[in-house]
C-alpha cells in the first residue's frame, strides 16, 4: 500500500490528456466557448446579489475596492490555473493538479472541497433562481393578471415559513429549483458542445443587461452616496421604525478591514473562471485556449464588477441595502425603482438578467462538478459509475444524473441560507493549493514543457504563487466564524470518507496506474525549448 501522499506520475496525466477513443472526453470547445463558460459561471448571483450585500455588511461604497482585492487574489490564482491547464489539459482542475504535485491525500482534500464550490454552489444558486422567478412572475402578474404565480408551498423548502397578507404559509418543496437542476443536467447529458452554445447565448443576453444598467445608472449617481467611502466603526443602521438592524464594530465590518471582509463576501462573484479548467480535456487547443478562457473571462468580469459596484452604491446609499425591508435580495431592482424614475422596465430586465445569470452559473457548476467526479472516479477515489461515458453522447452521464438527484434534492428541500459562504471557502482552499502547486512543480519538474508560464513564478522567486496563496488565505480568514466551523466539519467528514473508501479503492494505492496506450500523437504536448 502506497503512502497517502503518493503522487500520480505526470506521464500518466499527459497520457490521459492525449488519449483518444471510447472512454475519453471529446475536444469540442474553442477559446470563445471557454471564455463564455467562464463569464457564464462568474456573472450571476455574485454580481446581482453579493454587491449590495458586501456594501451593506462591510464595505459601503468601498465595495469597488473589495472587488479589486478579490480580483487581485483571483489574478494570481488564475495565472497558476492557466499554467497547469495548458500543461496538463485534463478534466479535474485543482484536484488533478494537486495529485501530481502534493499527493493523493491533498488531491482528495481539494476534490472534497470542490463539492462545496460546484455541487453546493449549484444548489444554492438554483434556490436563488427560484426566488427570482417568483419575483418576475409577481411583476408580470401585476400587469397581466392571467399570468399565474407559484404558490409559496411549492417554491420553498419544508424548513421555511412566512406570513403573507396575514396568512401563515409553510413550504413543502421548491419545485422551480428542482426543475432548473433537472433541465440543465439533462442538457449536459446531451452534449458539451450543445451546453456551451446554450451558455453562450445566455452570456450575451445577461452581459447586455449589465452594460445597460451601468450606462443608464451612471446618470443617476449621487456623489453624496459615496461619502464616506468606507464605513465608520461607529456606524449604525436603523429601519423605518427606528430599530437598529446593523452595527459595524467588528474589525472586518468597517474601514479597511471592511474592504477585506467585503472581498470575502464578493469573492463568490468570481467563482467560475476556475471552472474553465475542468473542461481542459474538452478544449480543441488547450495549450493556447485554456489561458485565454481563464484569464479572459476573469478580466472581462472584473471590469464589469467594478463599474457595477460604483454605479449601484452611487444610485442608492449602502445604508438602504442594510435594511432588509428596502434592499435585501432584490437590491438592484429596488435601487432602480426607488432612484431611477422612468426606468421601471430596467428593473424587470435586471430580474430577467439575474435569472439568465443564475441559469448559466448552475450549468457551468454542474458541468465542473461532473468533470471533477469523472477524474476522481478514474483514479478509484469515487465510485466507477462517475467515470462512465454515454455510448452516444460521450458525456459522463451517470455523474450528471447522480448529481441531478443529489443537487436536486438539496435544492428542493433545504433552505439556501444554510449554504452561507461555504462555496467561497471551497474555492479559496482550491486556489491556495493550486498556487502552491505551481511552485512545487517548478521545483520538482523544471524542464517540463509549459505552453503558458505564470510570470514571476520561478522556483527561486515564486512571487505569483506565494501571493495567490497568501491573498486567498487572507480571504478565508475574512469569512465569518460559522462558515469556517461548518467548513471544518465538512472537511473532517471528507477525511473519514477517504480512509473508509478512497484509500481502499485508489488505483494508485493498488499500484495499477498505467499510461494509456491509445493516444493521439498530434495532440501530445511535445517539448518546446523556448518554453523551458
Write down all domains in the chain, each with its CATH number in brackets: 29-86+123-274+285-478 (1.20.1740.10)
Question: Which range (56-65, 118-127, 161-170, 282-291) has the least confidence?
Answer: 161-170
| Cβ(452)–Cβ(464) below 8 Å | no
Place of cell 428596502: 326
The Cα 366–Cα 386 span in angstroms is 13
Backbone angles phi, psi at 192, to 5 degrees: -70, -45
**What per-residue confidence (pLDDT) applies to 163?**
79
Q: Which residue has the higher pLDDT, 182 or 446?
A: 182
Q: How many CA atoms lie within 13 A of 126 on its CB side?
A: 34
Place of cell 452616496: 225
Does pLDDT of 199 surpass 70? yes
- The angle formed by the CA atoms of residues 101, 104 and 108, to the nearest 5 degrees, is 110
Give the largest CA-CA distance in the chain: 74
3-state secondary structure of 341: coil
- Terminus-to-terminus CA distance in the chain, angstroms? 35
Q: Which residue has the higher pLDDT, 325 or 464?
A: 464
The Cα 302–Cα 74 span in angstroms is 10
Question: Which range (185-189, 415-419, 481-485) has the least confidence?
Answer: 415-419
**What per-residue confidence (pLDDT) applies to 520?**
40
The Cα 54–Cα 75 span in angstroms is 20
Share of the chain above pLDDT 90, in %: 41
Does pLDDT of 310 surpass 80? yes
- Please count the other Cβ atoms lying within 10 Å of the Cβ belonging to residue 372: 30
Q: How confident is the model at residue 326 (pLDDT cuts 50, 70, 90)?
A: low
Q: Which residue has the higher pLDDT, 462 or 90?
A: 462
**What per-residue confidence (pLDDT) applies to 259?**
94
Helix (H) or strand (E) holding 169: strand 167-170
Q: How confident is the model at residue 19 (pLDDT cuts 50, 70, 90)?
A: low
pLDDT tens profile 383-420 = 999 999 988 888 899 999 999 999 999 999 988 766 65
Of the candidates 75, 111, 80, 86, the one whose C-alpha atom is nearest the C-alpha of residue 280 is 86
The Cα 309–Cα 52 span in angstroms is 8
**What per-residue confidence (pLDDT) applies to 532?**
33
| Cβ(67)–Cβ(321) below 8 Å | no
Does pLDDT of 528 surpass 50? no
Q: How many CA atoms lie within 13 A of 255 on its CB side?
A: 7
Q: Which residue has the higher pLDDT, 319 or 23?
A: 319
Q: Residue 365, preceding bond cis, omega within 30 degrees?
A: no
The Cα 375–Cα 385 span in angstroms is 11
DSSP class of residue 519 equals B
The Cα 290–Cα 185 span in angstroms is 24
DSSP class of residue 155 equals B
Q: 155 has which bridge partners?
A: 174
**Sign of the torsion angle spanned by Cα atoms 397, 398, 401, 406:** negative
The Cα 401–Cα 88 span in angstroms is 27
Question: Which whole number is the average pLDDT over 468-478?
Answer: 85
Q: Is 221 exposed, middle or buried (0-12, 13-18, 19+ CB in 10 A)?
A: middle
**What per-residue confidence (pLDDT) applies to 45?**
60
- The angle formed by the CA atoms of residues 99, 270 and 228, to the nearest 5 degrees, is 140
pLDDT tens profile 352-371 = 888 888 898 898 889 989 98
pLDDT tens profile 234-285 = 999 988 788 888 899 998 899 999 998 898 788 777 877 787 888 888 888 9
Question: Which whole number is the average pLDDT over 328-346?
Answer: 85
Amino acid at each position: 500500500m502506497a503512502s497517502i501522499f503518493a503522487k500520480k506520475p505526470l506521464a500518466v496525466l499527459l497520457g490521459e490528456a492525449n488519449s483518444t477513443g471510447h472512454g475519453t472526453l471529446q475536444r469540442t470547445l474553442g477559446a470563445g466557448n471557454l471564455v463564455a463558460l467562464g463569464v457564464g459561471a462568474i456573472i450571476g448571483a455574485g454580481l446581482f446579489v453579493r454587491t449590495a450585500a458586501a456594501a451593506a455588511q462591510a464595505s459601503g461604497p468601498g465595495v469597488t475596492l473589495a472587488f479589486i482585492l478579490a480580483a487581485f487574489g483571483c489574478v494570481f490564482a488564475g495565472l497558476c490555473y492557466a499554467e497547469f491547464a495548458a500543461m496538463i489539459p485534463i478534466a479535474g482542475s485543482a484536484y488533478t493538479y494537486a495529485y501530481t504535485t502534493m499527493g493523493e491525500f491533498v488531491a482528495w482534500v481539494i476534490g472534497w472541497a470542490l463539492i462545496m464550490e460546484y455541487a453546493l454552489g449549484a444548489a444554492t444558486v438554483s434556490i436563488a433562481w427560484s426566488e427570482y422567478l417568483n419575483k418576475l412572475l409577481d411583476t408580470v402578474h401585476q400587469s397581466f393578471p392571467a399570468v399565474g404565480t407559484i404558490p409559496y408551498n411549492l417554491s420553498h423548502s419544508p424548513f421555511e415559513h412566512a406570513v403573507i397578507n396575514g396568512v401563515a404559509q409553510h413550504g413543502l418543496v421548491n419545485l422551480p429549483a428542482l426543475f432548473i437542476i433537472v433541465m440543465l443536467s439533462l442538457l449536459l447529458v446531451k452534449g458539451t458542445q450543445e451546453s456551451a452554445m446554450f451558455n453562450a447565448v445566455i452570456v450575451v443576453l445577461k452581459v447586455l443587461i449589465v452594460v445597460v444598467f451601468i450606462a443608464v445608472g451612471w446618470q443617476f449617481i449621487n456623489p453624496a452616496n459615496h461619502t464616506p467611502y468606507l464605513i465608520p466603526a461607529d456606524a449604525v443602521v436603523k429601519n423605518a421604525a427606528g430599530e437598529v438592524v446593523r452595527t459595524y464594530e467588528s474589525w472586518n465590518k468597517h474601514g479597511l478591514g471592511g474592504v477585506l471582509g467585503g472581498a470575502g463576501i464578493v469573492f463568490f462573484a468570481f467563482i467560475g473562471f476556475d471552472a474553465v479548467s475542468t473542461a481542459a480535456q474538452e478544449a480543441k487547443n488547450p495549450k493556447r485556449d485554456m489561458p485565454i478562457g481563464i484569464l479572459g473571462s476573469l478580466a472581462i468580469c472584473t471590469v464589469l464588477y467594478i463599474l457595477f459596484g460604483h454605479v449601484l452604491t452611487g444610485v442608492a446609499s449602502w445604508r438602504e441595502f442594510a435594511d432588509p425591508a428596502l434592499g435585501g435580495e432584490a437590491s438592484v431592482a429596488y435601487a432602480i425603482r426607488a432612484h431611477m424614475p422612468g426606468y421601471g422596465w430596467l428593473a424587470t430586465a435586471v430580474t430577467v438578467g439575474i435569472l439568465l445569470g443564475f441559469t448559466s452559473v448552475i450549468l457551468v457548476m454542474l458541468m465542473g462538478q461532473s468533470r471533477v467526479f469523472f477524474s476522481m472516479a478514474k483514479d478509484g477515489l469515487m465510485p466507477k459509475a462517475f467515470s462512465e461515458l454515454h455510448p452516444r453522447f460521450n458525456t459522463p452521464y451517470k455523474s450528471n444524473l447522480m448529481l441531478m438527484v443529489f443537487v436536486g434534492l438539496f435544492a428542493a428541500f433545504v433552505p439556501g441560507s444554510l449554504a452561507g459562504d461555504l462555496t467561497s471557502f471551497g474555492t479559496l482552499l482550491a486556489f491556495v493549493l493550486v498556487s502552491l502547486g505551481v511552485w512545487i512543480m517548478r521545483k520538482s519538474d523544471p524542464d517540463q514543457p509549459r505552453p503558458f508560464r505564470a510570470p514571476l513564478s520561478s522556483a527561486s522567486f515564486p512571487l505569483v504563487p506565494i501571493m495567490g496563496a497568501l491573498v486567498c488565505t487572507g480571504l478565508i480568514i475574512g469569512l465569518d466564524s460559522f462558515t469556517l466551523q461548518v467548513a471544518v466539519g465538512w472537511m473532517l467528514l471528507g477525511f473519514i470518507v477517504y480512509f473508509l473508501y478512497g484509500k481502499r479503492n485508489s488505483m494508485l494505492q493498488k499500484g495499477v496506474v498505467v499510461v494509456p496506450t491509445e493516444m493521439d500523437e498530434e495532440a501530445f504536448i511535445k517539448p518546446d525549448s523556448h518554453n523551458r
